[in-house]
Amino acid sequence: MTIHPRSIPLPRPVSIEPAALSPEGAALIDRIYEAAAVPELWRDVLSGLARFARAREAVMIVTTGTHFRDVVTTSPEFDLLVAEHLRFPGNVRTGRLLDLRHPGFLNDLDVVTEEEIATLPLYQDFLIPRGYGAGTATTVLVPSGDSVIVHCERARAEGDFGPQTLAALNGLRPHLARAALLSARLEMERVATTTRTLEALGLPAAVLGSGGRLIGANPSLVAMMPHTLSDQPSRLAAVDPAADRLLREALERSAEEQPVRSIPIAAREDRPPVILHLVPIRGAAHDVFARARFVLVATPVVARDVPGAEVVQGLFDLTPAEARLAALIAAGDAPVPAAAKLGITPSTARTVLKRVFQKTGVSRQAELVGLLAGTALPR
């Protein structure tokens, strides 16, 4: 998103004094707090908010700086439009709203001028032809460092939202802010419970948000920083360049697309190899972890004995045939003798071995032996 600096003085934001809540508003408050605990209810709450404001649609966006992580709207169709809107070149509308940090709902004319509405492609080529272009929005800051945008939208021909509507929305705003805070705290407690449970099992673990941003980690995983893992501002990274490339590629895929992925980290100095297991959060689990996208579990390879085929298969997500061949190779067999033991042709063994290399992140037989035996990998 490109944020253009404001070049024309804008009107002073309207009053943020809330109005007395109507029965409709009081009922909406109850549903807002329900959604704070049950995230899948937010779409219904936003539909109620749109009706309350006499708007066509509504959206809630969680953003970190200019990175928009979570978007919930009133309809799947509006999902697509919002995604295009946030990526639209020269989107001064969203950028200025975030810059203002105004503690109340604002209209378009509080962040852009009439001249800009008449000339900007965002309005003339995108919003207005689609039946939109008049919005009211507010930004709520939560302790995680994120900003939550709540936005209602209708046709430009209907004009800006009036003072009474803004006052009514400002009456809801404290509840929206508390719900956002409550939702963040509940999720952090769930994250902490998950990482504590894995700690009790002896597993270093972390919960990652969109793009791999670290949300929470247990002490065992924190102890792997900074020599094995690094908590970067944008995402959790592996210090080893080859492992980090695989981790970055996996994190760039959505949780819905990403299968469970195992990523090897070569041994360094006196530290053993480590296998990172990246487990996507989806389905019912995503209803519990609204912001989380992945659970990352680290498995140090500390045993000096070569693991059996079952262990190898679990560590690297191998097929049974791949695991049996990998175990034989790790035990010292060359591909041809291993193929004979498995009753397959040497060419089949070489094909299977290539797939094993891809999944374990190594490129040579000696590296595979070193990885599975818990010794340092040749450089």
- The answer, yes or no, to whether residue 149 has pLDDT greater than 70, is yes
3-state helix, strand, coil in the chain (%, to 5): 50, 20, 30
Q: Strand 229-231 to strand 214-217: parallel, antiparallel, or no bridges (unpaired)?
A: unpaired
For residue 23, name the pLDDT band (cuts at 50, 70, 90): confident
Higher pLDDT, 361 or 24: 24
* HSE (side-chain half, CA atoms, 13 Å) at 273: 26
- CATH number for the domain formed by residue range(s) 23-186: 3.30.450.80
- The count of residues in the chain is 379
Domain boundaries, the chain: 23-186, 187-373
Percent of the chain with pLDDT over 70: 74
Please determine whether the domains at 23-186 and 187-373 fall in the same fold group of CATH.
Answer: yes
Average pLDDT over residues 194-201: 66
Query: pLDDT (tens digit, 9 = 90+) per residue, 221-241?
Result: 888 888 888 888 778 898 888
Give every CB contact of residue 173 below 8 A, 6+ residues apart in sequence: 18, 103, 104, 105, 138, 140, 150
User: Check: CATH 3.30.450.20 for 187-373?
Assistant: yes
Query: pLDDT (tens digit, 9 = 90+) per residue, 330-350?
Result: 777 888 888 888 888 989 988
Average pLDDT over residues 146-174: 91
Give every CB contact of residue 31 below 8 A, 6+ residues apart in sequence: 41, 44, 45, 48
Q: Tell me the residue type at 81.
A: L
pLDDT at 54: 94
pLDDT at 12: 45
